[in-house]
Structure 1
Amino acid sequence: MAQFDVVIIGAGAAGLMCAAQAGYRGRSVLVLDHAKQAGKKILISGGGRCNFTNINASPANYLCSNPHFVKSALARYKAQDFIELVERHGVAYHEKTLGQLFCDDSAKDIVQLLLTECDWAGVTVRLRSHVADIQKTGSGFSLSANGETIHCQSLVVACGGLSMPKLCATPLGYQIAQQFGLKVLPTRAGLVPFTLDKPDLEPLAELAGVSLPVTAQSQDGTLFKEAMLFTHRGLSGPAILQISSFWQPGEDVSLNLLPDTDLAQVLTAMGAKHPNQTLKTALARLLPKRLVEVLAEQGSIDGELPLKALDEGRMKKLVQMLSAYRVHPNGTEGYRTAEVTLGGVDTDELSSKTLEAKQVPGLYFIGEVMDVTGWLGGYNFQWAWASGWAAGQAV
């Protein structure tokens, strides 16, 4: 029988951050994970270079049933705090678009940073450990890991959501919450590509691999201006992943295919110089040629119409179609490719300062397992660091 002050279930971003913080406070800490490698999701993130935070991270970048919940943790452990940690460990990094920070070399650098911190803080990390039989005791909790009984004062659930099951994602965190009477909100895949019905997909099949900048807008008015990618199953790319978290099944998504172009002005100027040029030729200078051909084949545009025949009515109709091109997803690719899980442990059950369950002293939930989901671009890692840090100060 083993005894620790703190047991953390999950050796991911939030769990390892929490472990190091608790260890530095002099707590004896054990991290358990059923995977054979720590930080598996970190390792594949950002194309293997880990988009480890975003310099613009603020509460506005998170979805949560209680939008105020994230404020405390994010205010107490900011993006700059993690950047300083990265710099102390000598990890080279660079900024990409929209404040996204990536490792110059490899996501392995971030995992190594966390494991080094845990090592310095005296934390024990055990992989290939299967947790079972969690019970509340008079002095904390008891649980079984690979048949061994372990006792602890504080139990931290940091085992993530359901996204990317190939990385060993399980519903364990939700099951623990429900076991102790905490409400778990319905979950679904977030930051995930859309799929289209066969009749909608077939005309677009030849566009697989084509990308372009768009503004994607959900029916609630949320919009993101980033790249979109046509795929063999439907639509992907940053703009689509972002809007997927705000999309509800059955809704349309509106796409502005020319977000940076005053189409009427540009086509009028083109028509003045080349009045006999066809609309298809003119649009192919503004949009991917293959996309223009598909729009013509669909009948969305009259490709052979000369620009001189583009009167005010036709121009208005064309601008409306290209600035609010509607797609009707039949669903998403699901947890298989989702970067995050929407929903989870209801934040009303938790302290926003410590992440401790209000009704179960000593039980904490951090990271993706709770109903907090960040935008694409390093925001979910920042929540992992911030929530892990906050709990690490309290356990």
Structure 2
Amino acid sequence: MLNTGEPDFPSPDNVRLAGIGAILANQTRYTALDGTPALKAAIRRKFLRENGLTFSDAEISVGAGAKQVLFNILMATLNPGDEVIVPLPCWTSYLDMVRLAGGVPVSVSCPEEAGFRLAATALRDVVTERTRWLLLNSPSNPTGAIYSREHLQALGTVLRDVPHVGVISDDIYEHVRYNNGQFATMAAVCPDLRPRIVIVNGVSKAYSMTGWRIGYAAAPAGMIAAMAVVQSQCSSNPCSISQVAAIEALDGPQDSVAEHCRHFRQRRDMIVDLLNAVPDVRCACPDGAFYAFADVRTLLARQVVRERGITDDMALCQYFLNECHVAVVPGSCFGAEGYMRLSYASSEDMIARALARMTTGVRRLLAP
């Protein structure tokens, strides 16, 4: 299975022990609506230590995963018809979350030739008086693209001319990066824009804590208060036990973060090499996250493949599932037809077996 964005590593020992300790200490009751003061303090320390950003408790919100936090933001801020600019390819939930909140997603294609990143000129072209948010994800799911400090500065130049537009910065893959540079987030790069920036993050990817369901946001206090109103009517507080574990993840030893990233880098190099050895498949090397985003347009253009009824990436991924027993995700799910996403959050053995099956399947397709 190469379709799920879930690290296969266990949660760190100290995190699991903290969760067990919370149960034994009977920390199993309702907590403050959007996070305990202790967890908010740990999140504030994280932002100061890693991003050079200072926040108060009133500027921090904790929810049941980054997904809920994103949804809270959109529900709390969008009026019917408000527009949210979403660079494509993007995580599959973004567009429907905007629609559910009454907004209008404005998709902007960011081709591979542009590094799958939104150009400042493209941003300027799509901003209207109804634009409420620009939604950025770096490192990106599904492409692994990273917005550098220079990229963010260029976007910030455009945003300064449109004071009604804010930025939602989805930084959930912050710690899954393969370059040695400092991580860039818009609030740190463009501090003058900070009053209209929301940072979203969580513990799921960096600490292999997907099932603990803890995400958080940093934003102006008024926005955090509005998000709390939304959360109060849909879920109330995030899990009390998970909040204790998240404190340990953020404040405790960080060795596992670097170790996991080292393994992800090895898996990335392996899967990219294997994909580029598949006939008519090409895959650029991602800079972050744990997804390979492979270009299968040449394969889909082959007459012999089309004659077998495989004319798009959806059909190709269905073929891989049915005939090769390998699950991958079509690029069209992310707004990029002719691509497919493969997660390398799985073991090297699973990656090798999956790519061997896919290679055999492709050669079978191309056989006369």
Shorter chain as normaliser: what TM range?
A: under 0.3
Structure in which a larger fraction of residues adopt strand: 1
Higher alpha-carbon Rg:
1
Q: TM-score, normalised by structure 1?
A: 0.26
